[in-house]
Structure 1
Amino acid sequence: MHLRLDADVQKLEAEKLRKEKMKVEEDRDDLKEEYKKIQLSRKKAGLGKTSE
């Protein structure tokens, strides 16, 4: 019985970690998309170029 409880706890922990990983990956993807938008806006505005 004790081993079964340990297995259930490990399954719950593994599921929690999977959900957290998915959330982090979604957040990372959102940040990448936002970064691309900002870079495109900078490029269109001509920012980041040095003037001589």
Structure 2
Amino acid sequence: MGSTDQSGVQVQWSENESDDFSKNQIRARVEGRFQIDVFQPLGIVKIATTA
């Protein structure tokens, strides 16, 4: 399970980039700050392997 900060997930839409209008395209940019919630710290295992 993960969490976001107070801003949540932000989406911006644009059709004014370069030649998007002439190509009938729309761009979306999604930004967010996420973290992982750990409810059982003893259940986390780190394994180091060699190449």
TM-score interval, smaller chain: under 0.3
Determine which structure has the larger helix proportion and give its number.
1
Q: Whose radius of gyration is greater, 1 or 2? A: 1
Structure having the larger proportion of residues in strand: 2
TM-score, normalising length from structure 2?
Answer: 0.24
TM-score, with normalisation over the residues of structure 1? 0.24
